[in-house]
Chain A
Amino acid sequence: MSVSDGRISRLRVNATVILALILAVLPLPHWMDIARPYLLLLLVIYWSLSAPRIAGLMFAWLCGMAIDLLKGTTLGQHALAFLLVSFLTHKFQLRMRIFPLSQQTVTVLLLLFLYEFVVFWTDGIIGYPVTTWTRWIPVFTSTLLWPVLVAILDTWNRRSR
């Protein structure tokens, strides 16, 4: 499997991360903007499952930091949320990998809820709470994106074995 080949896979992981960062700040019309899925977080979950030696907790933390920097939020806020999600994924990695896709999607939904809750909670502590229900929309759009992402990346990984 390409995963055991450290160099190629690391390049691949980094390439997807950069793409996700670009998509995270791409200007979109407002109605699409509020539903923008957390592509980078999905990637962190995916790579934590399929390449856990490359995508460790440090990787997740740095990804969160990058989001903080690009989005101009308090440094460390998204980093903490990414870290927690990545920790749980690593913890249940062996179980999640043999889940059927439907069950995996539900697990991802729970992880995304946790992520959004951590961000929401720290927002509240810092003092800029966004309390509209619309902030939960990305959780669902991201969940819908998960099977698609898995299909694409699995195909890609298998082809260039």
Chain B
Amino acid sequence: MVTLSSDSRPIIGRGPPLGATLFFLGVISVIVMVLDHRGGYLDTARLWMSAAANPIYTVVQTPGQLWRWITGSFADRSQLRTENAQLTEQLRIARTQLLRFESLNEENRRLREIREASKGVSERTLIAEIISVSVNPFRHMVVINKGADDGVFRGQPVLDAFGVVGQVMQVGKTTATLILITDAEHAVPIQVNRNGIRSIAMGTGEAAKLSLPYLTVESDVRKGDLLVSSGLDAIFPAGYPVATVTRVERNSADTFALVEAKPLAQLDRDREVLLLWANKPKVPAPEEAIEAVKQ
């Protein structure tokens, strides 16, 4: 510090006074914050600016990828063989299950056609890789390597092989930020698969815990129940597994039971996730519904 005494700000060429700059930039900051938070007016700006952040993500990624590449190339033969055997086995099981799935799917489609609600069956998916960058230690958010260029949009549901992972929160050109279902600010509308009771599963900020605060003491929910998405938020399509109930405590003095659940998706272990483009089932407009009732 003391060595750098020669550079005090000269009188000439100082630029605008400090206070004015502070005021100007401060006002801009506040305007930007309001625009970004209130209306999401800056989504497009963020899209392009995040392209500038890409090289930094790449640099951070490289050592890990290099390490995986090296360990991958030197994996020994017997290990590969056992892995191959395991995968073959898994594939066989999955195939047989898929056989049944096909027929069930067909049956489901027929039944839906009978009910004239056949929309909402076809879906498109895309695999995205989680970029290992640390965003915020207090929030459950991750960055993936697919962005607006791949058609990712804000509020898009994200799954993995086991269940619902979360939804897209911010979109960049080639990256996107996900908010996981365990984040303290996130909630999923769910249904108990056994009996169809609807509720909301809130994130707790802990890695393996969801809380269901709106189930009354009398509601029929048991430990081990499967919770699936109910689709009422028009974000997550109905019927995807979300969590299993791990704890139910009923205190007759309270109105609501204490219910906790464990997410099925491997939120802390995933390397790849599935982006989902679901065709939303058409909800009849109120007028149409009234017409239908009249007829």
Q: Which residues of A contact B (CB under 8 A)?
A: 1, 3-4, 18, 21-22, 25-28, 30, 33-34, 36, 49-53, 56-58, 61, 66, 69-77, 79-80, 83-84, 87, 90-91, 93-94, 97-99, 101, 104, 122, 126, 128, 130, 132, 134-135, 150, 154, 157-158
18 new A-B contacts at CB < 8 Å, known A25-B57, A36-B134, A49-B1? A18-B56, A25-B60, A30-B137, A69-B49, A69-B53, A72-B177, A74-B37, A75-B33, A77-B29, A80-B29, A80-B33, A83-B29, A84-B22, A90-B18, A93-B9, A122-B33, A126-B33, A154-B4
Q: For the complex, give the distance between the alpha carbons of A108 and B53 in Å.
A: 28
Chain A residues whose CB sits within 8 angstroms of the CB of B135 once the complex forms: 25, 70-72
Chain B residues whose CB sits within 8 angstroms of the CB of A128 once the complex forms: 139, 185
Q: How far is the CB of B135 from chain A (nearest CB, A)?
A: 5
The answer to whether B134 and A28 touch across the interface, beta carbons within 8 angstroms, is: yes
B5 at the interface (CB under 8 A from A): yes
Number of A-B contacts (CB under 8 A): 139
Q: For the complex, give the distance between the alpha carbons of A2 and B38 in Å.
A: 45
Q: For the complex, give the distance between the alpha carbons of A22 and B26 in Å.
A: 26
Q: Can you offer 27 A-B residue contacts whose CB atoms are under 8 A?
A: A1-B4, A21-B56, A26-B60, A26-B133, A27-B60, A27-B132, A33-B134, A50-B7, A51-B4, A51-B7, A69-B52, A70-B56, A70-B133, A70-B135, A72-B135, A72-B136, A75-B32, A75-B46, A76-B32, A76-B36, A79-B29, A80-B30, A90-B18, A93-B9, A97-B5, A101-B1, A154-B1
The answer to whether A83 and B26 touch across the interface, beta carbons within 8 angstroms, is: yes
Chain A residues whose CB sits within 8 angstroms of the CB of B96 once the complex forms: none
B148 at the interface (CB under 8 A from A): no
Q: For the complex, give the distance between the alpha carbons of A130 and B184 in Å.
A: 10
Chain A residues whose CB sits within 8 angstroms of the CB of B50 once the complex forms: 69
Q: For the complex, give the distance between the alpha carbons of A28 and B138 in Å.
A: 14
The answer to whether B22 and A79 touch across the interface, beta carbons within 8 angstroms, is: no
B169 at the interface (CB under 8 A from A): yes
Query: Which of A1, A61, A74, A154 interacts with B25 by CB under 8 Å?
Result: A61
Query: DSSP majority for the A interface?
Result: helix
Chain B residues whose CB sits within 8 angstroms of the CB of A84 once the complex forms: 22, 26
Question: Using a CB-CB cutoff of 8 Å, which residues 104-135 of chain B contact chain A?
Answer: 132-135
The answer to whether A97 and B53 touch across the interface, beta carbons within 8 angstroms, is: no
Chain A residues whose CB sits within 8 angstroms of the CB of B53 once the complex forms: 66, 69-70
B8 at the interface (CB under 8 A from A): yes
B3 at the interface (CB under 8 A from A): yes
The answer to whether A26 and B37 touch across the interface, beta carbons within 8 angstroms, is: no
Given contact pairs A58-B21, A87-B18, A154-B1, A27 touches B134 in the complex (Cβ within 8 A) = yes
Q: How far is the CB of B271 from chain A (nearest CB, A)?
A: 13
Indicate with 1 or 0, residue by residue over B36-78, a CB within 8 angstroms of chain A CB atoms: 1100001001100110110011011000100000000000000
Query: Which of B30, B45, B56 interacts with A22 by CB under 8 Å?
Result: B56
Chain B residues whose CB sits within 8 angstroms of the CB of A74 once the complex forms: 33, 36-37
Residue among A3, A93, A97, A132 having the largest count of chain B Cβ atoms under 10 Å:
A97
Question: Using a CB-CB cutoff of 8 Å, which residues 243-258 of chain B contact chain A?
Answer: none
The answer to whether B60 and A3 touch across the interface, beta carbons within 8 angstroms, is: no
Q: For the complex, give the distance between the alpha carbons of A87 and B17 in Å.
A: 11
